[in-house]
Amino acid sequence: MSRTHLFDDVTFFASAVHERDLPASSGVEVAFAGRSNAGKSSALNALVRRHRLAFVSKTPGRTQQINFFSLGAGRFLVDLPGYGYAKVPGAMKQSWQELLSGYLQTRDQLRGLVVLMDARHPLTPLDRQLLDWFAPTGRPAHVLLTKADKLPKQEAARQLRGVGERLAADYHGSSVQLFSATTRQGVDDAEALLAKWFDAV
Ligand code: GDP
């Protein structure tokens, strides 16, 4: 499949609130995760170029679930619940942890993880927690440093370098790029990487 068609046919597939609800499928999944407000919904919409698809979920009640979107041809894009939302009560945080860590550690179909981080505040402890859960699987993680348009070019380049160095030290096989849903900086690169992951079966 050529990469220009990767996201041509996105449809909602399923939601899971508990691990037992995760859809059985023989497909290939790429998951997106990030702190609430990191720009995940905006990035997903920029990638699929469909502003009316519901990649928007702000309230804690709605964010605590995993949403699966089918791209056709056995490919799935997985929208993981945003984390670090201050108003989420303790009990919810725990069920979030169980759902997310379980999914990241044991999901066979999961080929790669995209982690969205605000380019101005990358690699927070919760971001590292997520990478720590996923790292033992040996599969690649890719960091999108979002809202790059909010930083002067030199500062963005400095963040890119810094995060690249820290990832190389702690998370073998991971990668990082600058991204902006607003200017579409990095959209093509992200899409090319996803196409590679989906095809590397
Ligand atoms: P989510 O909670 O991770 O899904 O984050 P959203 O996609 O809803 O974005 C959070 C806020 O950041 C919103 O106010 C967006 O308009 C803003 N935002 C997201 N991406 C960008 C970007 O690339 N550039 C700028 N300037 N703002 C962005």
Residue 76 near residue 25 (C-beta atoms within 8 A) = yes
Distance, CA 178 to ligand 1 centroid (Å)?
14
Report residue 96's pLDDT band, with 50, 70 and 90 as the boundaries. confident
Task: Give pLDDT, residue 8.
Answer: 81
Percent of the chain with pLDDT over 70: 87
Mean pLDDT for the stretch of residues 134-141: 97
Mean pLDDT for the stretch of residues 146-158: 98
Burial 3-17 (b: 16+ CB within 10 A, else e): eeebbeebeebbebe
Instruction: Give which of 196, 192, 160, 201 is closest to 47, Cα–Cα.
Output: 192
Task: Give pLDDT, residue 3.
Answer: 44
**Nearest 5 degrees, angle CA 176-CA 103-CA 124?**
40
Tell me the average pLDDT of the chain.
88
Report residue 68's pLDDT band, with 50, 70 and 90 as the boundaries. very high
Nearest CA to ligand 1 atom 19: 39
Nearest CA to ligand 1 atom 2: 37
- Give yes or no for residue 39 CB within 6 A of ligand 1: yes
Q: Is 182 helix (H, G, I), strand (E, B) or coil?
A: coil
How much is the pTM? 0.93
Q: Give residues with Cβ within 8 angstroms of 183, minimum separation 6.
A: 148, 149
- Give yes or no for residue 70 CB within 6 A of ligand 1: no
Distance, CA 38 to ligand 1 centroid (Å)?
6
Task: Give pLDDT, residue 2.
Answer: 45
Ligand 1 mutation target, pool 32, 42, 146, 151, most atoms within 8 A of CB: 42
**Cα 70 to chain centroid, rounded:** 15
Report residue 54's pLDDT band, with 50, 70 and 90 as the boundaries. low
Per-residue pLDDT tens over the stretch 173-186: 999 999 999 999 99
- Give yes or no for residue 174 CB within 6 A of ligand 1: no
Distance, CA 68 to ligand 1 centroid (Å)?
21
